[in-house]
Amino acid sequence: MILGYARVSSADQAADDRSSLQTQTDVIEGFARTRGVDRFGVQIYTDAGVSGGTKFKLRPAGADLLAAMKSGDIVIASKLDRMFRSSSDALAMMEVFKERGVHLYLFDMGNDPVTDGGMSKFLFTILAAVADMERVRIRERTAEGRKAKKAKGGVIGNIPFGFRKVGEGRSATIEVDEKEMEAAARMKEMWAKRQTFPNIALHLADAGFVSRAGKPYTPMAIRRVVQEAMQ
């Protein structure tokens, strides 16, 4: 079985032909055709709006792929950074694929599986480290940009979960939102007890914890809070 993986981290990226989900899908299906498999014989798992910094096993589609794959399967992604942006996660997951007898191909790294050793594995190790360094530099540049903007006054960007904006314009500040903080604590506590995200959403709604829009938290929103707490 050929299992494909595609990911974009934002709606803007999804609209970019060079990195869109459709482009990644075309690459995966093209790879399958070279092995005599048409698109109906390929199962593609897609994560949209998921950061590359999130560990592969914690992504919705990533977790589904890991649960579905079996010994002898082939996993294919169009590029290394679609699957991994952390070198530690990349190397750890490569060991998981090897232990389960699954061949991992990354289209931008040639025709050999990176799980089979040799030059592909060597190149994979180096490029995973480079991708990790790039991710850190992007984070640093973003933080520097936000710091410079904040120095000019005012609150910038999205308000983190657990906080709220007070005031408007250049005089606006961020303060702790006690109720959101309590909601986050309950989310993490219930997740630690192996509650599912939909069940957590129901429990929170019953207890009077709702989103900033006044609606029950979605399972995806709860997943995001829990994942950020684990990073």
Per-residue pLDDT tens for 76-86? Answer: 999 888 988 77
- The three-point CA angle 6-11-13 to 5° equals 60
Distance in angstroms (rounded) separating the CA atoms of residues 18 and 16:
5
Which pLDDT does position 12 carry in this prediction? 45
One domain for residues 17 and 123: yes
166 vs 134: CA distance, rounded Å: 35
- 187 in any annotated domain: yes
Residue 53 has pLDDT above 70, yes or no: yes
120 shares a domain with 64: yes
Q: Is 104 found in the same domain as 24?
A: yes
Catalytic residue among 9, 78, 86, 120: 9
Segments of 15-98 assigned E as strands: 42-48, 74-77
Whether residue 224 lies inside any domain: the answer is: yes
Range of the domain at 175: 163-230
pLDDT bucket at 153, cuts 50 / 70 / 90: low
Mean pLDDT of 135-141: 65
Q: What is the CATH number of the domain that holds 45?
A: 3.40.50.1390
When divided into structural domains, the chain yields a total of 2
When mean pLDDT is compared across 82-91, 127-136, 179-188, the lowest value belongs to 127-136
pLDDT over 60 at 18, yes or no:
no
9 flagged as catalytic? yes
